[in-house]
Structure 1
Amino acid sequence: MTVSLLDPYTGPHLRLPNRVAMAPVTRGRADDATGVPHPAARDYYAQRASAGLIVTEGIWPHRLGKGEPGVPGLVTAEQAAGWRAVTGAVHAAGGRIFAQLWHVGRMSHPLVLDGAAPVAPSAVRIEGEYLHTAAGRRDHVTPRALETAEVEELVGAFAAAARAAVGAGFDGVEVHGANGYLIQQFLGTNTNRRTDRYAEPTLFAREVVRAVAAAVGPERTALRISPGSTDHAIDEADPRTVYRALLADLDPLGLAYLHIVERGAYCALADLRPRWSGTLIGNLDGPEPTTREAAERAVQAGLADVFSFGRLFIANPDLPARFAAGAPLNPLRPTLIYGGGHEGYTDYPPLPTPAHTP
């Protein structure tokens, strides 16, 4: 039987009306002083409730996890209240939503962190890239290497943020272990030069996921990885060995899902799918948005159960309906992805409703 992206999906812990997930996409519209999501976030996510599953933009679980202006947090009561409005609106519209917990590690700047230095597994600076601050583009600084006790505290911070997420009405949490951020910095060959127990590249990832699962239940816990990715100057000398070991440890937990971003020479979906017994969400991170056809081929080949789309969901709040109708897609307005208000955020039009004929 041929599987379509529009077919329902039933897994060990997820029951979805379709296999079209909304990938996490940073939008930079939270209040920068408080980390509270923009009031329009309620409408933005509710508009996209027809996705099989929504994964939010990255949310910082610790004040040093914030990477740029306008990124929301989930550590204060005010932030949790803002997210509670979002989850309530999504559920009222019939949707399902996971919070992505995102610590950027070295991908930050003192101008973003109220003067504090960014932290990382080791004091390794990113060369040849810049990042955005409220004062404009800035070169990266050398991060401060985390003490062993600080790494242990961060494990607890992820668990506390997960509890806050579930308390705010989220259906679960996705731990961001991909795209060159803190967890992948521990996994990276060039970014983890530690000599303590966290020199073992998978240990921090395993401890975070286990702590989150203990806090909110494995059925509400997910992990996103991007094996072999070189995002933000990450180098993984042997991703096959590292990620096979990571999955061997985490697969028995019975997590809600594993979210694999495939980018680069390592064919992560083909290699890791047989090593994951639970739900697997696939993503192809290329220079152009993934097409429905490419995603459907991956699902039909058994490489993923569900497929996530980021840029297409920004511009098309009713993406599953457009797929079903074979309708044209709204073009993305790239200059309006980050920051601002409603424009380029909640004003992308849905398909016209057919006129009713008596």
Structure 2
Amino acid sequence: MTETAFQPLALRNGVTWANRLTLAPLTNKQSHDNGVLSSDEIRWLEARGEGGFSMVMTAAAYVQREGLSFEGQFGISGDLHDEGLAALAARLKATGTQSALQLQHGGNRARPELSGLPTVSAVEGRGARAMTTAEVEALREAFISSAVRAQKAGFDGVEVHGAHGYLLTQFLSTENTRSDHWGGSYENRTRLVREIVSGIRKTCGASFTLGLRLSPERYGVVLEEAQRFATEMMTGGDLDYLDLSLWDYAKAPEETGTGRLIDAFMDLPRGDCALGVAGKIYSAADVRDCLSAGADFVLIGRGAILHADFPKAMAADSEFRVKDLPVTADYLRSQALGEKFVSYMATWPGFVEG
């Protein structure tokens, strides 16, 4: 019998992923200052398609220039981005993988010194001003129009980035005390994400793969609300998959200190929505553990940086585990990381030798 990790995963929209191993969206800082994709970023992603990942997801792409959040971030906010987007989608398709582009806005975590634009958020604070109602509505339309741009470029789907404290998380947060219908109550704080997801589904059609990334805690997100919202989104009929970014799948929830964070979500009703998890999945045993717990698929982050062919390596060795750190810069280059990505990884303590 084929190991679960290498069984196909049929999504609700009729698309099938070849296996349960997918590439997590990973900041790599390799593209151009104007948000145009670089050849290095395209090659890094293409190599993961060649390495056997059934779905390759891009790093976060900003849907409005003011949402730019890190050096070398690529965008999907204007016509100048289209050529690079189409090139990436075509290169990924040629590898046989499914492709997804992650849609994002930094909010109060954006970098005005990079974008040249003021910082905005759900509420005033942390160097940002509160968005007007009209600006929130424009943001919603920017997410939807960016999904259309990704679809026209040839991507198989998009993921809405509602995690890690970026702008959509700032709306979901219990710290969102706006007095209009975008804040205050749980229903109002979740409204923007729900309307973005439903808008993308309506505009892009039933066959376009649509995912959502959520953080289950931190950034003003409380566990009970995260469970409720995850359930509502999975059973709402618009999502093909939910991506839970757990930081460490085996850690205990911060609120309770007992059990495992992954297990707080595995028994939730999910309808026909696939549920994926990310967070310190470093070995074949970790993959099996997540799938045995009830996840439909896993998203590989650090393991994919260290091994472009993580899925093929796991298929060849049931005891596969990622390389120990530190590694050399030349080793990272051998895994299709460009110079900017190698330099970025060198800022992670203990990752790169020297």
Question: Normalising TM by the smaller chain, what interval?
Answer: 0.7 to 0.9
| Residue 147, structure 1, aligned to residue 136, structure 2 | no
How far residue 36 of structure 1 moved from its aligned partner, in angstroms, is: 0.4
Secondary structure of 1:283's counterpart equals: strand
Deviates more, 1:154-163 or 1:206-215: 206-215
Q: Within 1, Cα distance between the matches of 2:59 and 2:269?
A: 27
Q: Between Structure 1 and Structure 2, which shows a larger proportion of helix residues?
A: 2
Match runs of 1:248-267 below 5 Å: 248=232, 251-263=235-247, 264-265=253-254
Match of 2:271 among 274, 277, 280: 277
Deviates more, 1:78-87 or 1:270-279: 270-279
Q: Structure 1: which amino acid aligns with 2:38?
A: H
Q: Structure 2: which amino acid aligns with 1:270?
A: D
Residue 161 (structure 1) aligns with:
146
| Residue 27, structure 1, aligned to residue 37, structure 2 | no
Residue 211 (structure 2) aligns with:
222
Residue 322 (structure 1) aligns with:
313
Q: Relative to structure 1, is the Cα distance of residues 42 and 242 closer, same or farther in structure 2, using a 3 angstrom cutoff?
A: closer
Match runs of 1:1-358 below 5 Å: 3-13=3-13, 14-32=15-33, 34-49=34-49, 50-114=52-116, 116-125=117-126, 142-190=127-175, 192-199=176-183, 200-219=188-207, 220-228=209-217, 230=218, 234-236=219-221, 238-245=222-229, 247-248=231-232, 251-263=235-247, 264-265=253-254, 269-273=262-266, 274-286=268-280, 289-302=281-294, 304-326=295-317, 329-330=322-323, 342-343=338-339
Q: Within 1, Cα distance between the matches of 2:324 and 2:286?
A: 19
Q: Within 1, Cα distance between the matches of 2:61 and 2:74?
A: 5
Ranges in structure 1 where 5+ consecutive residues have no aligned partner: 126-141, 347-358
Deviates more, 1:249-258 or 1:21-30: 249-258
Q: Relative to structure 1, is the Cα distance of residues 63 and 124 closer, same or farther in structure 2, using a 3 angstrom cutoff?
A: same
Q: Structure 1: which amino acid aligns with 2:77?
A: V
TM-score by length of 2: 0.82
Identity, in percent, stands at: 28
How far residue 212 of structure 1 moved from its aligned partner, in angstroms, is: 1.4
Number of aligned positions between the proteins: 317
Whether the aligned pair in 2 keeps the contact of 1:201 and 1:242 (CA below 8 Å) is no
Secondary structure of 2:225's counterpart equals: helix
Whether the aligned pair in 1 keeps the contact of 2:63 and 2:105 (CA below 8 Å) is yes
Ranges in structure 2 where 5+ consecutive residues have no aligned partner: 248-252, 343-354
Q: Within 2, Cα distance between the matches of 1:98 and 1:253?
A: 19
Whether the aligned pair in 2 keeps the contact of 1:60 and 1:103 (CA below 8 Å) is yes
Q: Within 1, Cα distance between the matches of 2:10 and 2:108?
A: 38
How far residue 306 of structure 1 moved from its aligned partner, in angstroms, is: 0.6
How far residue 15 of structure 1 moved from its aligned partner, in angstroms, is: 0.8
Whether the aligned pair in 2 keeps the contact of 1:260 and 1:268 (CA below 8 Å) is no
How far residue 41 of structure 1 moved from its aligned partner, in angstroms, is: 2.5
Q: Within 1, Cα distance between the matches of 2:62 and 2:206?
A: 20
Q: Within 1, Cα distance between the matches of 2:64 and 2:43?
A: 26
Q: Within 1, Cα distance between the matches of 2:328 and 2:202?
A: 41
How far residue 162 of structure 1 moved from its aligned partner, in angstroms, is: 0.2
Q: Within 2, Cα distance between the matches of 1:117 and 1:94?
A: 41
Q: What is the CA deviation profile of residues 131-182 of structure 1, one whole-angstrom value per residue up to 9, with x for unaligned ones?
A: xxxxxxxxxxx10100011001100000000000001110000000011111
RMSD: 2.5
